[in-house]
Amino acid sequence: MATTQKAPDDAGVGPKPRGSYAKSESTRAAILDAALEVFAQGGYHVGSLREIATKVGISEAGLLHHFTSKARLLEAVLARRDQLAAQFVPPHPGDGVRAMSGLIELAQYNACVPGVTELYCMLSAEATAPTHPAHAYFVRRYEQTRATLVEAFSNLAARGLLRENVTPASAARSTIAMMDGLQVQWLLDRSVLDMAEELRDHLRSVTLVEV
């Protein structure tokens, strides 16, 4: 966050950003916020640029000045959120136990931001279609997530903390599936289950870690 404006050919010593840069950056941020909110309810195809622009308080043309197309806007929304997710479970978790805690914290966080959770749940289903603008992104993202979790569970395996008949690969697949599936049920009826609690149960059935 903060002032992340990029001053070209300026080694970061410029004390005051040129007005236009600062304005542009804050507008972009506002657009991303609104886009996330709009895409989250109804999905990518239903959410319209008009709705997003209105929410920000600018025109559609004004919006498209910052993001050249709707698909690009979606990409930006997704990329921005990935940054945040990595704070819970880093791409290369050295400590498997710590990674388990991170997963639970992520589930707890997701329950606090239903909008983001809805966005991802809906988009990962939409993006199942090969023609969807975010298809490649989600295929890659799931590969990466699986790789990250395989690393975490491998660490546990090396410490004898994986239950028998459970491999790092199978644990990674099933854990991701569980998180995704819990979201659907939770989004349809939030009183029916506690995502973090349910994930904890799953991790206990797969590992010997006290989560």
Partner DNA sequence: GTCTATAAATTGATAGAC
Partner DNA sequence: GTCTATCAATTTATAGAC
Using DSSP, state whether 156 is helix, strand or coil: helix
**Given the complex with DNA, which of 49 and 172 has the nearer CB atom?**
49
What tokens does 51 get?
């709705």
Cα separation values, 198 from 124, 140, 192, 207, Å: 21, 26, 11, 14
Smallest CA-to-CA distance from 169 within 185, 186, 157 is with 157
Of these partners, a second copy, DNA, none, which one is at the site of residue 205 (CB under 5 to 8 Å by kind)? a second copy
* Lookup: tokens for 162: 């994986």
Q: Choose between 37 and 151: whose C-beta lies nearer to DNA.
A: 37
* Part in contact with DNA (CB under 7 A); list of ranges 57-65, 112-120, 137-145, 151-159: 57-65
Enumerate binding residues for a second copy (CB under 8 A): 41-43, 45-46, 118, 121-122, 124-129, 131-132, 138-139, 142-143, 146, 165, 170, 173-174, 176-182, 184-185, 187-189, 192-193, 198, 201-202, 204-206
The Cβ-side half-sphere exposure at 135, using a 13 Å CA radius, reads 6
Least gap, CB of 128 to DNA (angstroms) = 19
Please tell me whether residue 3 binds DNA under the rule CB under 7 A: no
CB 36 within 8 A of CB 119: yes
What residues numbered 27-46 form the site for DNA, per CB under 7 A? 27
Binding region for DNA (CB under 7 A) out of 49-57, 96-104, 112-120, 184-192: 49-57
Chosen from a second copy, DNA, none, partner binding at 92 (C-beta under 5 to 8 Å by type): none
Spatial neighbors of 184 by CB under 8 A, at least 6 apart, are: 121
Task: Name the nearest CA neighbour of 65 among 18, 85, 56.
Answer: 56
Q: How far is the CB of 122 from DNA (least distance, A)?
A: 15
Give me the amino acid identity at 203: L
- Binding positions for DNA, rule: CB under 7 A: 20-21, 23-24, 27, 47-51, 57-62, 64-66, 68-71
